[in-house]
Amino acid sequence: MRDNTQTPEAQVAQKSKISATGVQVHYGDTHAIKDVNVEIEDKTVTAFIGPSGCGKSTFLRCINRMNDTIDICRVQGKILLDGEDIYDPKVDPVQLRAKVGMVFQKPNPFPKSIYDNVAYGPRIHGLARNKAELDEIVERALRRGAIWDEVKDRLAAPGTGLSGGQQQRLCIARAVATEPEVLLMDEPCSALDPIATAQVEELIDELRQNYSVVIVTHSMQQAARVSQRTAFFHLGNLVEFGDTDKIFTTPEDPRTESYITGRIG
């Protein structure tokens, strides 16, 4: 299903960051992901779309091994990050997650101050040598999360006291503060107003300069706006994967077409 008709300059700029082959996920008896193969490129935004319950979040959580925390979840297949198998027994998932950051579907700030929310990651990874550096990292992350102006006067206030949309942007700031190489975002804008959404999309665009971003979204427009590549999931299958332009204009699979035109989902 890999789309090979790329423009020459794209081929130069893009190299595979994550490569998944034959991924199967079971939750007990539920077969949630069925034999999925995906190449996620560096410095690219990849969008996962599909109807509710089709396995987008599940697949996303395979990429930073968050599924390890679910006892009944079994992952099979191969997922390579920079050519290394992340499910190799030698891999420590904690080290992996420092490289592959995640923003969750539901905003989940720590019940600590706004500052501590963002500073927590850099602290445990030893990214700052002193308070001034940490302050700088926190400010930069909050600016990138498009929330700095709203919280700069109350960094000591609890993160849980923010509105839902603000909390989500705080979580984005928290995720970028550790400078991950890959950022996984599970419906990051579902609780945001159009202005904040635009800011987050701008951030995603900026992150693309250095990182690879995977975003799950229910908004076709958002997928079309921010992503270069789109994967369409349906009932655990990867139905179609290719350049965003192509998927939205000339989809190959009839299911993709029905979904993006609003007939299934």
Binder of another protein out of 166, 178, 197, 230 (CB under 8 A)? 178
**Contacts of ligand ATP in 99-128 (CB under 6 A):** 105
Q: Does 57 bind Mg ion (CB under 5 A)?
A: yes
Interatomic CA distance for residues 190 and 200, integer angstroms: 11
Q: Is 150 exposed, middle or buried (0-12, 13-18, 19+ CB in 10 A)?
A: middle
| Residue nearest to ligand ATP according to CB distances in the complex | 57
Q: Toward ligand ATP, which CB reaches closer, 37 or 105?
A: 105
113 or 227, CB closer to ligand ATP?
227
Q: Which amino acid is at 261?
A: T
Estimate to the nearest angstrom the gap between the alpha carbon of 191 and the chain centroid: 16
CB of residue 57 vs Mg ion: minimum separation in angstroms? 3
Q: Is 29 among the residues that bind another protein (CB under 8 A)?
A: no
DSSP sequence for 127-160? --SSHHHHHHHHHHHHHHTT-HHHHTT-TTSBGG
Closest CB 21 distance from another protein, rounded Å: 25
Of 26-34, 113-121, 201-209, 246-254, the window that binds ligand ATP (rule: CB under 6 A) is 26-34
177-236: which residues touch ligand ATP (CB under 6 A)? none
Candidate residues 97, 144, 169, 234; the one interacting with another protein per rule CB under 8 A: 97
Tokens of 112: 């600590």
Helix axes 131-144, 194-207, angle to 10 degrees: 120
End-to-end CA distance of the chain: give it in Å, rounded.
22
Q: 25 vs 98, which CB is nearer to ligand ATP?
A: 25
Question: Helix, strand, coil proportions of the chain in percent (round to 5)?
Answer: 40, 25, 35
Neighbours of 54 (CB within 10 A): 23
Binding partner at 97 among ligand ATP, another protein, Mg ion, none, C-beta below 5 to 8 Å by kind: another protein
**All residues at 6 or more sequence positions from 165 whose CB lies less than 8 Å from its CB, including other chains:** 191, 192, 193, 196
Can you tell me whether residue 17 is helix, strand or coil?
strand
Contacted entry of Mg ion, another protein, ligand ATP, none for residue 49, CB cut-off 5 to 8 Å set by kind: none
* DSSP characters over 34-63: EEEEEEEETT-EEEEE-STTSSHHHHHHHH
By CB under 6 A, residue 56 contacts ligand ATP = yes
Binding another protein by CB under 8 A: which of 37, 51, 78, 110?
Answer: 110
Nearer Cβ to ligand ATP, position 178 or 217?
217
Using the rule CB under 8 A, give the single segment among 118-126, 136-144, 212-220, 245-253 that binds another protein.
118-126
Binding site for another protein (CB under 8 A): 64, 66, 69, 71, 94-95, 97-98, 101-104, 106, 108-112, 120-121, 124-125, 158, 160, 171, 174-175, 177-178
Residues that bind ligand ATP (CB under 6 A): 27, 30, 32, 50, 52-58, 70, 105
